């Protein structure tokens, strides 16, 4: 069976660049949208050219030119969007609606993976303000996809290790604290942590898999279902250093939103749902979902004790 041709939109981004590499590694003809808005961003251009050297095809297009998107989509079988949805970088979730229109008009796409790659927004109707905007916008895109009858797969990848593991899930840095670690509640609520390269590997495996058609694939590799305290213990064992642990109650954590800027408030809300509510692990996967590590046991995913070694 021939491998699907794949167009990746947002291919120079944090997850997008990993998707491009995984797509090439798994032998798919890989197309990357080269947006005309790139202008003088030399780093993005050089990244695109590095993909081209590896065998990817660069396809010019612009979200301000709907015809160019349609023409790009018509060259492939599968479209994956990895445009950013985090407010402290760039928040472009609703721009996908233009891509949905292009896919609908082109009429040839057999699978679309929109920019999800985090908490399942379908389970977050209760999310607190202002963080709920992320989930609301993702659901708006999902609604458009399903109303257009576009075949889809949603990827719920939970916590990116780069943002949640190296810093022991602290809000204000990306590296491990040296003396004091703040613990959310009792620190025993379970979350799920993944190396971003593994997220890309799992995502690409879904695109030709009939088991994942019109479903949400939850990435829950069993050895990476951990509490914050377990992460801290891993780091203390690796570093040989015992950290002072300060617990923050849910009330105090939410009160800390006051005085923060909008992007920080969004982050606090998401951390609350993950580490106090347990929104990543407090439900069973239903008939509309699959679990990625069960579908693809051949993937040797990165365990978080191994991931943390680079920081030691």
Active site positions, annotated: 138
For residue 267, the cross-strand partners are none
Six token digits for residue 301 = 């995913």
Give one word for 209, left, alpha or beta, with left for phi > 0 and alpha for psi -120 to 50: beta
State the Cα–Cα distance between residues 287 and 268, nearest whole angstrom: 31
Whole-angstrom CA distances from 133 to 9, 14, 96, 124, 163 are 22, 21, 15, 10, 20
Distance CA 8, CA 34 (A): 10
130 upstream amide cis, omega within 30 of 0: yes
**Cβ neighbours of 303 (radius 10 Å):** 15
Phi, psi of 85 (to 5 degrees): -125, 15
* Residue 264 token pair: 């920080």
**How far from 259 is each of 15, 83, 139, 171, CA to CA, in Å?**
30, 29, 29, 15
Query: Are the C-beta atoms of 227 and 184 separated by less than 8 Å?
Result: no
Long-range contacts (CB closer than 8 Å, 24 or more residues apart) made by 163-166: 164/191, 164/193, 165/193, 165/231, 165/304, 165/307, 165/308, 166/307, 166/308, 166/310, 166/311
What radius of gyration do the chain's Cα atoms show? 20
CA atoms of 8 and 23, how far apart (whole Å): 9
Find the distance separating the first CA and the last CA of the chain, reported in whole Å.
45
């Amino acid at each position: 069976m021939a491998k699907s041709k794949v167009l990746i939109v947002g291919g120079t981004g944090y997850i997008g660049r990993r998707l491009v590499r995984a797509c090439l590694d798994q032998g798919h003809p890989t197309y990357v949208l080269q947006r005309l808005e790139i202008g003088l961003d030399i780093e993005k251009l050089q990244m695109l050219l590095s993909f081209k050297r590896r065998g990817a095809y660069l396809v010019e297009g612009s979200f301000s030119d709907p015809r160019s998107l349609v023409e790009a989509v018509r060259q492939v079988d599968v479209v994956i969007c990895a445009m950013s949805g985090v407010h402290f970088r760039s928040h472009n979730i609703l721009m996908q609606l233009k891509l949905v229109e292009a896919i609908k008009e082109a009429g040839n796409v057999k699978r679309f993976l929109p920019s999800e790659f985090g908490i399942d927004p379908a389970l977050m109707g209760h999310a607190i303000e202002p963080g709920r905007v992320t989930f609301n916008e993702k659901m708006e895109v999902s609604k458009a996809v399903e109303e257009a009858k576009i075949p889809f797969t949603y990827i719920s990848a939970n916590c990116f290790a780069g943002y949640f593991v190296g810093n022991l899930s602290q809000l204000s840095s990306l590296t491990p604290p040296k003396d004091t670690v703040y613990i959310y509640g009792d620190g025993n609520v379970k979350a799920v942590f993944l190396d971003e390269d593994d997220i890309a590997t799992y995502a690409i495996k879904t695109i030709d898999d009939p088991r994942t058609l019109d479903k949400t694939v939850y990435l829950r590799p069993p050895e990476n279902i951990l509490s914050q305290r377990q992460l801290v213990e891993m780091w203390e064992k690796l570093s040989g250093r015992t950290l002072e642990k300060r617990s923050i109650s849910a009330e105090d954590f939410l009160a800390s939103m006051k005085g923060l800027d909008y992007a920080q408030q969004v982050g606090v809300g998401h951390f609350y749902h993950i580490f106090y509510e347990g929104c990543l692990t407090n439900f069973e996967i239903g008939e509309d979902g699959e679990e990625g590590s069960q579908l693809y046991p051949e993937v040797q995913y990165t365990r978080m004790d191994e991931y943390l070694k680079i920081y030691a």
